[in-house]
């Protein structure tokens, strides 16, 4: 029986990668391990009472609707509210531009389904969000990588790549990038968007963290810049950007409610995809998210998330300054949930994870965030989930592991 299923998988299953470090990371779920591995929000900031009250209200007032099937594009009042909020800074976003997904992760899968043929080139930053690589790979995406530094994707080499290799899509995380924590500068945003318009290449702007800025100035989204640069008088957005947003980081990931902003033609195709995938995102969950957004709760709640994560970032950075060897480098994010470590050439983060787990501390080795492969000396730490005390202790343990490895 062992080969039974192996002989029956579709071609695309060969393109799905199972992560080599999964078993190791499973170990890290044990309570004695201080894990900086998962990209988990802090449970301390989950608004349990407010979600409870909102679900009570929804069930009392519109219970039958909340428990019934609903439109595939999403709950109408939520589409309208998102469109109104997104058009605050002058963007022509209408409800026809908005599409609700069961998490942004589903949005990435749908983009693959709608736009990626086997062999199509998708341009990504290096490193980039592993979940996007996993979502697009089964559709046959082949990745072209552009290196990034502390100001995000290095756009100076982009024109040459776009002119010669003609990617079908670009996938970019401009704010507090997962995994590196870096933010793309305004100049580079402009340059990227100008090139996207000139070469007519859509950009997936994945932006779950923009509201989690702890300091510094908010920068305009690629969507805003692109709309300005095209300079059209459209009353409904019809440009090259597909923007992904989510309630996962500002409310709760367990609700699985997210949204996309895109041209209406694309939204209509996405609706067809949704019908084949899961019909719709859970009505009750959309209505809960709607209630909490409509009455301003989410706006009021975000400062608490920012304060909590900012403190944890500071605790982590200070502990790293104290405990890490001087030959190790890391990013200093202005927001979000992650920072990124570069070890000296020749060190291997996956091997170090084995040592770290023995010391009861964990991280994610960076290899699977580099689509080009072959990079072994990077790793991601998440500062959002562990308490400040556990962060201090965890970084001290990690410092011991690094010192030992450097001395070896």
Q: Which residues are near ligand PMP by CB under 6 A?
A: 39, 103-105, 129, 131, 173, 178, 206, 208, 246, 248, 253, 258
Q: What whole-number distance in Å separates Cα of residue 353 and Cα of residue 356?
A: 5
Whichever of 367 and 401 has its CB closer to ligand PMP, that residue is 367
Nearer to ligand PMP, 254 or 373 (CB): 254
> Which is it for the CA torsion 198, 200, 201, 204, positive or negative?
positive
| Distance of closest approach, residue 173 Cβ to ligand PMP, in angstroms | 5
Query: Six-digit token pair at 77?
Result: 């009042």
Q: First-to-last CA distance in the chain?
A: 47
Place of tokens 């000139």: 198
CB of 258 to ligand PMP, least distance (A): 4
Distance in Å, CB of 106 to ligand PMP, minimum? 7
Nearest residue (CB) to ligand PMP, 369 versus 402: 369
* Shortest distance in whole angstroms from residue 335 CB to ligand PMP: 13
CB 142 within 8 A of CB 120: yes
**Which H/E stretch holds residue 270?**
helix 264-277
Q: Which two tokens stand for residue 327?
A: 């030959």
CA distance 84 to 360: 47
Q: Are 117 and 167 in contact (CB under 8 A)?
A: no
The least CB distance from residue 384 to ligand PMP, in Å, is 11
Contact 289, 249 (CB under 8 A): no
In 3D, which of 378, 109, 92, 43 has the Cα closest to residue 261? Answer: 92
Cβ-based nearer residue to ligand PMP, 170 or 319: 170
Q: Which helix (H) or strand (E) holds 164?
A: helix 158-165
Report the C-alpha gap between 358 and 351 in whole angstroms.
Answer: 12
Least separation in angstroms between residue 365's CB and ligand PMP is 17
- Judged by CB, which is closer to ligand PMP: 132, or 375? 132
Percent of residues in the chain assigned helix, strand, coil, to nearest 5:
45, 15, 40
Taking CB positions, which residue lies at the least distance from ligand PMP? 103
**What is 170-195 written as a DSSP string?**
EEE--SS-TTT-----HHHHHHHHHH
- Smallest separation, CB 104 to ligand PMP (Å): 4
- C-beta of 175 vs 402, nearer to ligand PMP: 175
Q: Which is nearer to ligand PMP, 208 or 394 (CB)?
A: 208
Complex with ligand PMP: residue 182 or 405, whichever CB lies closer: 182
Smallest distance from the beta carbon of 37 to ligand PMP, in angstroms? 12
Residue 405 structure tokens: 């490895």
């Amino acid at each position: 029986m062992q080969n039974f299923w192996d002989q029956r998988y579709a071609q695309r299953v060969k393109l799905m990668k199972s992560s080599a470090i999964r078993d190791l990371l499973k170990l890290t779920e044990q309570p004695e391990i201080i894990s900086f591995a998962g990209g988990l929000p802090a449970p301390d900031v989950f608004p349990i009472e407010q979600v409870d009250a909102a679900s009570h209200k929804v069930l009392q007032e519109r219970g039958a609707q909340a428990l019934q099937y609903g439109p595939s594009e999403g709950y109408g009042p939520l589409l309208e509210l998102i469109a109104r909020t997104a058009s605050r800074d002058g963007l022509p976003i209408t409800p026809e531009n908005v599409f609700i997904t069961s998490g942004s992760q589903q949005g990435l899968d749908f983009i693959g389904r709608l736009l990626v043929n086997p062999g199509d080139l998708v341009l990504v930053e290096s490193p980039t969000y592993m979940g996007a690589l996993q979502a697009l790979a089964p559709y046959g995406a082949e990745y072209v990588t552009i290196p990034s530094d502390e100001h995000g994707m290095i756009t100076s080499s982009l024109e040459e790549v776009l002119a010669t290799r003609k990617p079908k899509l670009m996938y970019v995380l401009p704010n507090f990038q997962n995994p590196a924590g870096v933010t793309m500068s305004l100049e580079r945003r402009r340059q990227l968007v100008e090139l996207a318009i000139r070469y007519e290449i859509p950009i997936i702007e994945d932006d779950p963290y923009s509201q989690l800025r702890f300091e510094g100035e908010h920068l305009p989204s690629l969507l805003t810049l692109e709309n300005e640069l095209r300079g059209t008088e459209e009353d409904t957005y019809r440009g090259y950007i597909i923007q992904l947003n989510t309630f996962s980081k500002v409310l709760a990931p367990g609700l699985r409610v997210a949204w996309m902003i895109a041209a209406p033609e694309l939204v209509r195709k996405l609706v067809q995809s949704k019908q084949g995938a899961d019909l719709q995102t859970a009505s009750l969950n959309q209505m809960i998210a709607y209630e909490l957004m409509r009455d301003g709760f989410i706006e009021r709640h975000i400062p608490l998330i920012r304060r909590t994560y900012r403190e944890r970032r500071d605790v982590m950075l200070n502990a790293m300054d104290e405990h890490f060897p001087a030959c190790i480098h890391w990013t200093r994010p202005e927001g979000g949930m992650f920072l990124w470590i570069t070890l000296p050439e020749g060190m291997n983060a996956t091997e170090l994870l084995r040592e770290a787990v023995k010391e009861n501390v964990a991280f994610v080795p960076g290899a699977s965030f580099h689509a080009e492969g072959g990079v072994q000396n990077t790793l991601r730490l998440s500062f959002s989930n562990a308490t400040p005390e556990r962060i201090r202790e965890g970084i001290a343990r990690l410092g011991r592991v690094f010192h030992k490895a450097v001395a070896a």
